[in-house]
Chain A
């Protein structure tokens, strides 16, 4: 087997901060810009004698995400302690869920070339985040620690090793983020470290003599905190595995080398060895005796399930089926839950779903992009767009004027009717007025007129533009076109 034939086999562990007001096991506020060590109490500082108390909201958000990923919520989830010594972890153990997580066996569909691919989810569980250790600048031998982050609720989502390229890793990560934001489970702000990635990468070599697949050693890359870095690190690792395998096809295998932990140097764009198999941690997991197991009430779980909104993917399919929208439109409209809600409200008020889609995609979203705001933050309601759309449909104004009116609504907060009458934007369909304009345009533009008569039908576009301009944009384009055709003897 040549190195190029090796098939990347990638699983991803994603950590995300949950959007709770307070920490997972104490009442301290979760804040990202507070003075260092100002959002701590004896509990999150791991002082002698303290005990953790579970944050119910964190469990609710975790269950919500697990349900949205199609996970089963087992009857019992158990808290465990995971031990390792590090100064950003005051107790020197992390409270996590080891062998009985709160969600198991889900999936996530991601877009790939030519369709979608289903990525299995092994498990979803809750755990507490650690603090932030900062090493002194200039190579001093002391470090400082900020424990504001200590105890922030983290959701860990572990995928099956179903991903097979850096692009898929990125698509999956993006989809998870979109879902978490869509559900209100987490903000996933990368700059704030609210979402972090740990890919496990191995390449399938083929089948061994025993008929089982063989792999290159598994590399786990720690602490990647952007889509770009996870994508680059995975691409780097795939290439590195191919090289290592090419150099030593017999030795570079999972059986011989096991699993290693690697770090990522973003400046140089390379991974580096942190721990080999021999140095692997023994976390000495055992059930957390200070907390009772989590036994989710079935009715509570079902109540959470009812609050899980229709997910982007399903909504996209429904938009295509129910509104007859092209895939592209459905995809764009459902990427943001509020935009999708806006579209549906608008579609209910108008007769033409495709026209409604065009209004949202071409006009409303352009304004949002210019202002860099969300759809709920501007002064426009689905009813405003419906009013404009109706005016165009009834030929009171033309389409271009409609766009202009929407912009004025956003700028001034006035109604469409007010704007059209105040600004005198109503469309002119009066044949007498337009006839004079058309005749003048033909007289002033002998070249295009001659071209048209000579058979170059496309030349009418130029004349149309001139006529529209002459009318101040208010002319009914259909009337202008038929008048032009008539006068040019078409």
Chain B
């Protein structure tokens, strides 16, 4: 059987039933990586030996009739901003952490291992998850499997590309302002940002602590639900982790929601939206309507460029603080040739961080400075509350909100690299979900004439991931986008 076309659920079931060994599933994944990754460049590090050892152990356990987890035998990739204590480095795609090996596993990594997944490698990202294309990686740019001259989106571009090119069936990403949903849209896969607090951040290297959230990439909604199931739930090591137990996301997944009310904010269909993208998103929403859903026009008055400004103040402020620890003293890169301690700090950070990271540290440092705090950070928190209230009001009227995930399909490598503001604006539809702490998902809804995928974004209220997944599944079951194979897999590029 060609295991590259199998979903995580199918691999798990085939493994449990004895039709597929964990070793076979792992070899299929490693072979696909070996064949495709020189072109796609999704992975920053690989652990073939560790993956094979683990697969062999799982096969022995199955032979002995031992218990098998919900991801038994499933190859998984992890974004390289999550700590793994497996000999692979945790770099955040930054020179400043090059070669740094975490002495502990992130909560989500512990969960993957507890559910018997096989971690094959760690994926590329924009340095410290700051970016929308992986071009800010300190090492290399990942390529879009649908057209290798294009970016995969970001910051979780490596995970999105790895799943889209079928090197792994599922992968973990993190989403601070759209870093799962946007690359999912640009790579034609499913990507979900759960509610803030749904998944523990313990072991996720912080970018912006009040916005960061880990979530799944998959080719199908069902696999996304499965991966979310494995990682969701309370963790006492993260004080912001929600105490409520996670419901069974797979239980009612196939059941459509009767009388679904969809909110359509005009703010998501304004200037800057590519007409091709708009058309496909409207067609997808039309399909819901045709199936009985009711579409309601709604207002999200603060979810505009104000949200972008708010996001970039909150995110950069927190980042300037979170990244203060990379100073060359205790771990990671330390510049040589310094004259004294302050000089060592300055050289280490000047040499270790890339341009975008430095830009954001400076923006955030400025926003938190004495005399500016009230005008920037405090004001941003006030606007953040208004954005949250916009969504609260909307969710009293509708079950979900739909729109494009990104204003355009994937762009060419290098096209926006010199214009950070244009890059920031590509987050216009995604950042508000992080500011409001709500759940969001991007599902494929078509391809442009150039053959690039387009994503439909669906947002729902906090802790309604079960409903959000069902709504996404209603769309997926009427389309065949998930069956399309990117050209790179056929040897073209």
Report if A and B associate in a common complex: yes
A residues with a Cβ closer than 8 A to B are 42, 45-54, 81, 83, 85, 87, 90-93, 145, 282, 284-286, 289-292
Known: A49-B204, A289-B318. 16 other contacts (CB 8 A): A45-B330, A46-B330, A48-B100, A51-B201, A51-B238, A51-B239, A53-B239, A85-B327, A87-B341, A90-B329, A92-B324, A285-B368, A285-B373, A289-B208, A289-B209, A292-B239
Q: Which of B202, B237, B373 contacts A286 (CB 8 A)?
A: B373
Establish whether residues B240 and A83, one from each chain, have CB atoms under 8 Å apart when the complex forms: no
A284 in complex: contacting residue of B81, B329, B331, B365, CB < 8 Å: B365
A48-B92, A49-B82 known; A85 vs B330 contact (CB < 8 Å): no
What chain B residues lie within 8 Å of A47 (beta carbons)? 102-104, 331
Residues of B near A92 (CB, < 8 A) are 324-325, 327
Q: Inter-chain contact count A-B, CB under 8 Å?
A: 95
Given contacts A46-B330, A92-B324, A92-B327, contact A284 B82 (CB under 8 A): no
Query: 1/0 per position for B168-186, CB-CB distance to A under 8 A?
Result: 0000000000000000000
| Interfacial chain A residues near B208, Cβ < 8 Å | 289
Could you tell me how many residues of chain B have their Cβ less than 8 Å away from some Cβ of chain A? 43
Which parts of B356-404 form the interface with A (CB within 8 Å)?
A: 365, 368-370, 373, 377
Q: Hey, which chain A residues are within 8 Å of B209, CB to CB?
A: 289-290
Chain A residue with the shortest CB-CB distance to B208: A289
Partner of B237, one of A46, A51, A284, A292: A51
A48 to B210, CA, bound (A): 16
Which residues of chain A are near B71, meaning CB under 8 Å?
none
Q: Write out the residue numbers on chain B whose beta carbons fall within 8 Å of the beta carbon of A83.
A: 321, 324, 368
Q: How far is the CA of A373 from the CA of B102 in the complex (A)?
A: 48
**Residues A48 and B368 in contact in the complex (CB < 8 Å), given A53-B236, A90-B330:** no
CA distance A290 to B200 in the complex (A): 11
The A-contacting residues of B in range 99-116, CB under 8 angstroms, are: 100, 102-104, 106
Chain B, residue nearest A290 (CB): B209
Looking across the interface, which residue of chain B has its beta carbon closest to that of A90? B330
In the bound complex, residues from chain A placing their C-beta under 8 Å from that of B102 are: 42, 47-49
- Complex: A454 Cα to B370 Cα, angstroms: 89
Tell whether, in the assembled complex, residue A282 and residue B206 are in contact, meaning their CB atoms are under 8 Å apart: no
A50 to chain B, nearest CB (A): 7
Q: Which residues of B contact A46 (CB under 8 A)?
A: 325, 330
| CB of B381, distance to nearest CB on chain A (Å) | 8
When distances are taken between beta carbons in the complex, the residues of chain A under 8 Å from B318 are 286, 289
In contact, A48 and B330 (Cβ under 8 angstroms): no
Chain A residues with CB below 8 A from B124, complex form: none
- Shortest Cβ gap from B130 to chain A (Å): 15
Q: Which residues of B contact A45 (CB under 8 A)?
A: 330
Distance of A445 Cα from B126 Cα, bound (Å): 106
- Some 19 contacts from A to B, beta carbons below 8 A apart, are A46-B325, A47-B104, A48-B83, A48-B97, A49-B203, A49-B204, A49-B206, A50-B203, A51-B238, A52-B239, A81-B321, A90-B325, A91-B324, A282-B370, A286-B373, A289-B209, A290-B209, A290-B238, A290-B240
User: A52 — nearest CB in chain B belongs to which residue?
Assistant: B239
Q: Which residues of A contact B205 (CB under 8 A)?
A: 48-49
Any chain A CB within 8 A of the CB of B481? no
Measured in the bound complex, the distance between the Cα atoms of B83 and A45 in whole Å is 15
Name the residue on B nearest A145 (C-beta): B329
Chain B positions within 8 Å of A42 at CB level:
102-104
Q: Which residues of A contact B92 (CB under 8 A)?
A: 48
- Give the shortest distance, in Å, between B320 (CB) and chain A (any CB): 8
| Interface: B434 (CB within 8 A) | no
Q: How far is the CB of B316 from chain A (nearest CB, A)?
A: 12
CB nearest to A85 among chain B residues: B345
**B317: Cβ under 8 A from any A Cβ:** yes
Partner of B368, one of A52, A87, A286: A286
Does the CB pair B202–A284 fall under 8 Å?
A: no
- In the complex, what distance in Å separates the CA atom of A50 from the CA atom of B317? 18
CB distance from A264 to the nearest CB of B (A): 22
By a CB distance below 8 angstroms, the chain B residues around A282 are 369-370
- Write out the residue numbers on chain A whose beta carbons fall within 8 Å of the beta carbon of B370: 282, 284
Contact A49 B83 (CB under 8 A): yes
Q: Which residue of A lies closest to B103 (CB)?
A: A42
- A54 (CB) vs chain B CBs: closest residue: B239
| Residue B90 is within 8 A (CB to CB) of chain A in the complex | yes
Q: Which of A51, A93, A292 contacts B202 (CB 8 A)?
A: A51
Q: A residues within 8 A CB of B377?
A: 286
Interface string of B232-262 (1 = CB under 8 A from A): 0000111110000000000000000000000
Q: Which 10 A-B pairs have the closest CB atoms?
A: A92-B324, A289-B209, A289-B210, A284-B368, A48-B205, A49-B203, A49-B205, A49-B83, A87-B329, A282-B370
Knowing A48-B97, A90-B325, say if A291 contacts B239 (CB, 8 Å). yes
- Minimal Cβ-Cβ distance residue in B for A45: B330
Structural contact, A48 and B90, CB atoms closer than 8 A: yes
State in angstroms the CA–CA spacing of A284 and B377 once bound together: 11
A290-B321 in contact given A42-B103, A49-B106, A284-B369 (Cβ < 8 Å): no
**Which B residues touch A91, using CB under 8 A?**
324-325
* A93-B321 contact given A282-B369, A289-B209, A292-B240, CB 8 Å threshold: yes
CB distance from B337 to the nearest CB of A (A): 14
Interface residues of B in 67-125 (CB under 8 A from A): 81-83, 90, 92, 97, 100, 102-104, 106
Task: Return A99 CB to nearest CB of chain B, in Å.
Answer: 11
Chain B residues within an 8 Å CB radius of A54: 239
